[in-house]
Amino acid sequence: MSRRAIIIGGGVTGLSTAYHLKRLGYGDVTLLEKDTIGAGSSSRAGGISTGLLWSKTGILARKTALRRFREMSRELDSYVFHNEHGCLGLFSPELWPAREALLPLYDEYDVPYQILSSAEIRRRWPQLNPEADHVGLLDPLGGYSEPEEYLAALTAEIRQLGVRIIENATALELVTEGDRVTGVRLDTGVEPADAVVVANYAWILPLLETAGITIPAKTFVHQRYVSKPLPTPFAAPPVNADPYLGYVRPAAGNRILIGAETPDRDDWKVGEFGFRLTEIADDPTVLPAVLARFGDFVPALNNAEWETRKVGLLSFSMDGEPILGPFGATEGLFVGVCFHSGGFSYNPASGYYLAEFVANGRTSIDLSAFSPDRFDAAQTAGYLASTVPQRNAARRRH
């Protein structure tokens, strides 16, 4: 009998997992989405990608992700990974020493980078105006994707590969027998499975609880804005700008996209399967505050008019690293979540590694640092019971 896998969550991690499972020759793959494909945080993402992370495992995973983004630009119809200018990280004098300390790690794993002065940034991209004492770290392999374009292309491809997609299907319970998962309960009954991958981000805690499992995951509000078409193209790399508490990049149709954290807003607790992101209101004070912070750095923002505003949730673990892999105590159950603000950036790798776990029982790199079993139960309970403002979560952008 053909092996059966169920993936819960129709965002980029779930889609990528389905795609890579079929490419590995796995049997029957079903993707469940409680709403429509991409209706969660994936369609609200910034889409920025960089390989300049802060841990060995993260660096190796992102090398895979950036390679796969380039390959998927060729594999998928109507999708382009924008690498025209790379991806720029911006650092104040206070923030730079911590990032400078990571440069030997980048050298060790052959991750290219360029250190740029503020004058060099202005010379290369005249539409950026960093403060004189700011430092840039350019990832020449980085770039960005348009989430809507990527979601549509990947969805079309997995349909062609034979993935069964069920939308408006809420996973109500993980069905187990003894120490293994055997399926997923929906309103319509139980879908049997040999493997279940849980990649439903904000909704993950109540679902895992049905199998008696907890992980230290919290979600925080993220707001993203896209302008109306600009009179002059915004020719610059995507910029992760921690001094300004946000990011900015070019967007399709001669637009500009800006995103921001809300540092004083507490973590958003999701306790019901019926919750939808549309229930989170756009805080009207955020955009003016973001523009005030970014206005000198990106003068084009000062005259921009705003076309769309989207509110999403970012998923963080207790130690700031992703949670990805099998649950040791429950055979056949896998998880991919808590990619900080980098779920989109990780997805070609996270989906690939989850597919490797499911299909082969092992991955091509050591992912023990991301294991869901790495957390202490008492510390997890304390973390989940606490309320944490976003400023106290690990600031790890894309």
Q: Up-side HSE of residue 320: CA atoms within 13 Å toward CB?
A: 13
* pLDDT at residue 263 in the model: 79
What's the rounded mean pLDDT across residues 370-376? 98
Does residue 363 surpass a pLDDT of 90?
A: yes
Please report, rounded to a whole number, the percentage of residues in the chain having pLDDT higher than 70.
98
* pLDDT at residue 341 in the model: 83
What's the rounded mean pLDDT across residues 360-367? 97
Residue 361, C-beta contacts closer than 8 angstroms, at least 6 positions apart: none
Q: What is the pLDDT of residues 209-245, one digit of tens each?
A: 999 999 999 999 999 999 999 999 999 999 999 999 9
Does residue 210 sit in helix, strand or coil?
coil
Locate 187 and state its tokens: 């309103």
Choose between 295 and 166: higher pLDDT: 166
What's the rounded mean pLDDT across residues 352-374? 98
Does residue 350 surpass a pLDDT of 90?
A: yes
Does residue 394 surpass a pLDDT of 90?
A: no
Q: DSSP per residue over 235-286, as a string?
A: -S--EEEGGGTEEEEEETTTEEEEEEE-TTSBPPP---TT--GGGSPP-TTH
Q: Does the CA dihedral 37-40-46-47 come out positive or negative? A: negative
Domains of the chain: 4-392 (3.50.50.60)
Q: What is the pLDDT of residues 90-148, one digit of tens each?
A: 999 999 999 999 999 999 999 999 999 999 999 999 999 999 999 999 999 999 999 99
Q: DSSP per residue over 288-299, as a string?
A: HHHHHHHTTT-G
- Strand extents, DSSP E, the chain: 4-8, 28-32, 48-49, 87-91, 114-117, 135-139, 143-144, 164-166, 173-177, 180-186, 189-192, 195-198, 217-227, 239-241, 246-251, 255-261, 306-317, 323-326, 333-337
CA 85 – CA 238 distance, rounded (Å): 8
Q: Up-side HSE of residue 292: CA atoms within 13 Å toward CB?
A: 5
* pLDDT at residue 1 in the model: 67
- In this prediction, residue 35 has a pLDDT band, given cuts at 50, 70 and 90, of very high
β-pairing verdict for 87-91 and 239-241: parallel
- In this prediction, residue 178 has a pLDDT band, given cuts at 50, 70 and 90, of very high
Locate 228 and state its tokens: 């109306």
Residue 121's H or E segment, with its range, is: helix 118-124
Beta bridge partners, 184, equal: 174, 191
Locate 13 and state its tokens: 């991690």
What's the rounded mean pLDDT across residues 303-316? 93
For the chain, the average pLDDT equals 95
Q: What is the pLDDT of residues 271-286, one digit of tens each?
A: 888 899 999 988 899 9
* pLDDT at residue 355 in the model: 98
